[in-house]
Amino acid sequence: MTEIPEHLLKRAQAAREKAASQGSESSGGGDESRIPDHLLERSKAAKAGGVAVADKGGAVVAAPAGGGLPVGAGPGGHTQRLLTVVKSGSIQDVKAVPVDKVHTWPHLLSIEFVAALGCTAFVFLFSWFVNAPLLQAANFNQTPNPSKAPWYFLGLQELLTMFHPMIAGVTIPGMGLIALMFAPYLDRNPSNKPEDRKFMTSLFTVHLMFWAVLVVISSFFRGPGYNFTFPWRDGIFFEL
């Protein structure tokens, strides 16, 4: 068992002696009583059925004629005074729920309108200072070799060199479009975060890289006669 230090024992003994001496003085009816006079008067008035005068405020609390507790008395016969009114906001933890959605107009459409104006101004100024890379007039008696489609059709043209026209022109593109149409029904995740949409991100990445690789091969690795070639050895046979 832990021993109590000596100085704490002495302090406790001195406190008990002081309390005993003050208690004897109070019971003797001395002038140095610890109970204030106004509290003694209020207690006597409450017991006698009279009127107790409140401290400092000058307010009067009436007691019933039967000698009970005063009107408005609290537990133990103590009278209560209303000090202040606490606002509900200071004791209630109210937190606003963040909203990550806004109206299309004007938040989205205004930004898109400004972006469209900026793109239009850029294209106008760019076309003012840079001439378009147009070739000479077409000669129907001489077909260019290689004859390549525009860059956005080069992926389809590359497929035509690998498969039958029915498969390359209809079956494979049709299957890709059907897969994209059914994608929203296969993935019902309502989240808008990319890290939560791994299936849709993977599907679109595979589709994009498949078509991009075909376009790159047809643009830079196809020479005269649409034969496979290396651009660093035979040059680039592609013009915008």
Percent over 70 (pLDDT), the chain: 72
User: Is there a domain that residue 174 lies in?
Assistant: yes
How does DSSP assign 143-156, residue by residue? Answer: --SS----GGGHHH
pTM for the full model?
0.45
Q: What is the pLDDT of residues 95-144, one digit of tens each?
A: 666 667 778 888 889 999 999 999 999 999 998 988 877 778 888 888 88
156, part of any domain: yes
Of 3-12, 34-43, 120-129, 215-224, the one with minimum mean pLDDT is 34-43
145 Cβ contact list (under 8 Å, min separation 6): 224, 225
Burial 202-237 (b: 16+ CB within 10 A, else e): ebeeeeeeebeebbeebbbbbbeebeebeeeeeeeb
Position 152 in a domain: yes
Instruction: Answer yes or no: is 129 within a domain.
Output: no
Residue 80 has pLDDT above 80, yes or no: no
Q: In terms of residue numbers, what domain contains 156? A: 145-234
Residue in 67, 89, 71 with CA at minimum distance from that of residue 80: 71
pLDDT at residue 133, as a whole number:
73
Averaged pLDDT for residues 199-219: 90
Q: Which residues contact 48 (CB under 8 A, 6 or more apart)?
A: 67
pLDDT single digits (tens) 2-17 = 577 788 888 888 888 8
Sorted by sequence, the CB contacts under 8 Å of residue 53 that are 6+ apart come out as: 38, 41, 42, 45, 60
Domain assignment of residue 161, yes or no: yes
Tokens at 113, concatenated = 């309108």
Task: Look at residue 209 and tell me if it is in a domain.
Answer: yes
- What lies within 8 Å, CB to CB, of 45 at 6+ separation is 51, 52, 53, 63
Residue 58 lies in a domain: no
In a domain, 40, yes or no: no
State how many domains the chain has: 1
Question: Which burial class, exposed, middle or buried, applies to 35 when counting CB atoms under 10 A from its CB (0-12, 13-18, 19+)?
Answer: exposed
**CA angle (200 as vertex; 153, 176 as ends), nearest 5:** 35
